[in-house]
Structure 1
Amino acid sequence: MPDNLIIHWKQASDLHLDCLFIHETFFNTDGMQKLLNRTSFPWLKISKDAQLCGTVQNNTLYFPLLNAKELYRWLEQHIMQNLPASQSAPSAPMPPEAAESQIAPKHSNPFNERFFRQMLTDATPSKLHLYDDHGSIAVIDVAQNSVWPSPHRLHPMTDLSFKYDLASTTDLAKADRKESAILQDWLWNLFWNSPDFYQIAPEDGHYRIHFWPKPADKAQHKRIFQLSACFIQGAKLSKISEQHDIPIRTIQQFIAANIAVNNISKINLWDAHYNPPEQAESNADKGLIQNFIGKLRKKFGF
């Protein structure tokens, strides 16, 4: 924090807090949940995770804190920008490790089905702010299945610096609340338009999607519907790539977009799968022949 700010540590019950840090041990207690429900100041849950160390996700700061870049960004966004002009510093110095990260950014990859399930189903019933290293992306309301895209992002896309947090009053004020979209459809297109996310999809495996996506990418309409027709029945990535001559990376991009909206399930090898038309016809012809031979055997007593 800037040197001209004096930090006072207070009890959680103090009525004049600027922010609150909560150890995970106490987060789910009745008293803490009641406090969070009746307050509006920003807060961070403190947790331990060796793989996520130093990151801020879903309003949780993960220790050990080996790199303060994300904590610094959180403080800047939720604390520094909301301070009265007389208290705010002209420009707060960036920590050395954060400056190095600006020069050569390296992003860990926490994205998987659990990450997006937490974002869309496990988060508290309030509005979330989606953002990345390039700025605000949108404010979403999961309960209402609505999204208010940032007016400054004309072409919704992101990269592996994507994050989300509880939306602050500032985030809500910046969002264009007049222009809303259906969250499920918008989110699918956001990640389809973000090719870096192909990396979160497996290189192969058997999967089934639950509903048909609604692509906004007109140039890829046919390809997306083709993949949807296959995976709505259940399909294996490598088989679809081979049968339809589609690059495996494109299929991974499709799978990743469905992971991001919780629209996919892993299935077993013996579950029902998509069969190409020629294979289905071949199986039908084979069945007719076997039926004909069976009748001959019965008639002649073979």
Structure 2
Amino acid sequence: MKEEVKIAIFGLSLNVLENIKQKVQSLYDDALKVSWANIADPHLDILLVNDMFFSSATIQNLVGAKKIPYLRLVNKNEKSGMIEGDKLYLPFMATEEVRQWFKDRYLRVPVNNKTESFVNKISQKMDLKKVVPEFFNERNGNVQVFDSKGNIALMNIRTQQVWINETRKLQRTDSSLNYTYATMQMAQSVSLMQGEDLTSWLWNMLWHSEDLDFNQNHPDFYKLKFWPQPDPQNERKMVFKIAACFEQGANLKQVVQKTGYSSEQINKFVSIAVLCNVLQKIPASDAKLMVEEKESSGVLRGFFGKLRKKLGL
């Protein structure tokens, strides 16, 4: 019986996939059987993955938790057949360097520590001010959202819809929040289903997340673009009162004075609202919220009475 090596290739078009399979097969002699496996195969020996999908939660679990030997496939004609760290450059060429890599992996030669460095980045802090705005950038199309705990949701940014991972019990995240481009199969799997509103879902996920840093400085004036839709159990009245102030145009200090809520609470609102595109920056001259040095309790009651009537609270 022939010995066997199981290899999975993920994220390539069919014609490129078949070309690579033929060339990889030629790297091994007849004494070794090459089996082309699915990435879910528990006995996987080697993973080749399109670099575009490398940061997805599924792939990170394979190379991070399960330590499957892998190569990230990157298109670069001038480096074709070269391996640098954990990257193999396409078009695929059966160079001596490539032959040695596949031989070493089958013989269980330890992978150089440098090739594992990227895997550890999945648990590092991301800059949410750079990540979250990409959820509103239409050029991204369909994206898969994940963090260090796994897959969160699939987004269609052009239609502003989101399909939540039903197996994920807690709808919150942390500073490892990230995204990757979704495969065509992922997009097709939800094409006939109605998704949730992306902005409302994102607002609530960030609002629920206790491990995020909302200590940014917000000295500017802002005006409300869209009313957030907080979960009823999650400080709904407070969110609506703060939003009502920003509907008139205000800064953080004015809203603290108007509502009596702490600067930390208002700052959390502003931080999330800016990330979710719910607030827009305005000149100070456009801010219409009226705040007096000593505002009577009767005036405050009148203000919030009108607000409750308006919002049906």
> Which TM-score tier does this pair reach, normalised by the shorter chain?
0.5 to 0.7
Distance 1:210 1:272, change over 3 A: same
Code of the residue aligned with 2:133 in structure 1: it is R
**4+ runs deviating over 6 angstroms:** 91-95, 99-102, 173-177
Structure 2 unmatched runs, 5+: 19-48, 72-104, 300-313
For residues 175 and 94 of structure 1, the distance between their equivalents in structure 2, rounded to whole angstroms, comes to: 38
Q: Are positions 1:152 and 2:160 aligned together?
A: no
Match of 1:163 in 2: 178
Q: How much has 1:43 moved relative to structure 2?
A: 4.5
Select 2:239's aligned residue among 213, 217, 224. Answer: 224
Q: Deviations over 1:268-300 (max 9, x none)?
A: 222223124848x99xxxxxxxxxxxxxxxxxx
**Which deviates further from its counterpart, 202-211 or 165-174?**
165-174
Task: Give the structure 1 partner of residue 201 of structure 2.
Answer: 186
- Indicate yes or no: 2:52 matched with 1:44: yes
Deviation of 1:173 after TM superposition, in Å, equals 8.4
**1:129 matched residue in structure 2:** 144
Aligned length: 220
Take 1:93 and 1:162, find their aligned partners in 2: how far apart are those partners? 30
Q: Which has the higher strand share?
A: 2
Matching residue of 2:220:
205
Q: What SS is found at the alignment partner of 2:145?
A: strand
Instruction: Give me the whole-angstrom Cα distance separating, in 1, the residues matched to 2:242 and 2:180.
Output: 32
Aligned to 1:15: 15
CA distance in 2, matches of 1:186, 1:173: 21
How much is the aligned-residue C-alpha RMSD, in angstroms?
4.8
Q: 1:168: Cα distance to partner?
A: 2.4
Change (3 A) 1:128 1:172: same
Structure-1 residue corresponding to 2:127: 110
Q: How does 1:240-255 map to 2 (within 5 A)?
A: 240-255=255-270
Determine the C-alpha separation between the residues in 2 that align with 1:171 and 1:143.
Answer: 16
1:123 aligned partner, one-letter code = R
> Which deviations, in whole Å up to 9, do the C-alpha atoms of 1:137-165 show, x marking residues without a partner?
10011222211100122331111100011
Give the match's secondary structure for 1:138. Answer: strand
Kindly indicate whether the alpha-carbon contact (under 8 Å) linking 1:201 and 1:255 is maintained by their aligned counterparts in 2: no
- Runs of 5+ unmatched residues, structure 1: 7-11, 19-40, 46-54, 58-68, 81-87, 283-302
Please give the TM-score of this superposition, normalised by the length of structure 1: 0.56
Q: Secondary structure at the match of 1:123?
A: helix
Identity in percent: 21
Deviations 1:218-240 (A, max 9, x none): 24011000010011211111222
